[in-house]
Amino acid sequence: MQVSERLSRAARAAGAVTVLSICLGACTSGLLGSGAPPTFDLTAPRITHQGGGSRAQLVVSEPTALSVLDSDRIVVRAGGDQMSHLANVQWSDRLPKLLQSRIVEAFESGSRLRAVGTPGDRLTADYQLVVEVRAFELSVVSGAVAQVEFSAKVIGDRGGRVVSAKVFRASVPAHSSAGPDAVLALDEAFHQVTTDMVHWAAHVV
């Protein structure tokens, strides 16, 4: 791995730790008053522009997911079909809504599109990004490992034709299954998957 890439990953991890620490501190004080569980956020990767510019406008739909992922709970896989949730912690929003927001941020920093937004932004979209969240979980089958898998499609918004489709996966070991460690690993796996997805889409639209 090149030195620049190692430094980039270290910077992303440090940023995620900062976000998590601030959030955990704020939510801990909230616990004293309301009994609300600690709340965690995801961070959008900062992606270097690649290739030339595009005058296309892209709409990022809210990702679809199975009901176990369509909530503000952090999913844990104990093995096979055994799914549960990490106790006493939660995301800052429903996971699909949170992912949509961070994916838009990633495209804004890492692509040269004319505009990127959501369906509610009233863009005259040339393309639509449709994402299915197939995995966004902490596996504890053998150690603690964050696993993220997206199935993405770029659709020509005017004709409804699938321009390109691809599956993106990442696995990142977590130091433990505790809330901050689990979220930090999930955040890094999300960065890897989303960075690959933005670079792929930049050559499609």
List the pLDDT tens digit at each of the 205 positions of the chain.
443 444 344 444 444 443 444 344 333 333 334 577 899 999 999 988 665 567 889 999 999 999 999 999 999 999 878 899 999 899 999 999 999 999 999 999 887 888 999 998 988 899 999 999 999 999 999 899 999 999 999 999 778 899 999 999 999 999 999 999 999 999 999 999 999 999 999 888 8
Question: What domains sit in the chain, N to C, each tagged with a CATH number?
Answer: 3-202 (3.40.50.10610)
Cα 69 to Cα 92: distance, rounded to the nearest angstrom: 14
Cα 94 to Cα 39: distance, rounded to the nearest angstrom: 12
**What is the residue whose two structure tokens read 């709340």?**
39
pLDDT of residue 51: 57
Which tokens go with 153?
């499609």
pLDDT of residue 109: 87
pLDDT of residue 47: 87
- With a CB cutoff of 8 Å and minimum separation 6, the contacts of 49 are 110, 111, 112
pLDDT of residue 170: 98
154 DSSP β-pair partners:
129, 164
Element (H, E) at 6: helix 3-34
pLDDT of residue 29: 35
End-to-end CA distance of the chain: 29
- Find, among 37, 6, 1, the residue nearest to 183 by Cα: 37
Phi/psi at 153 (5° precision): -130, 135
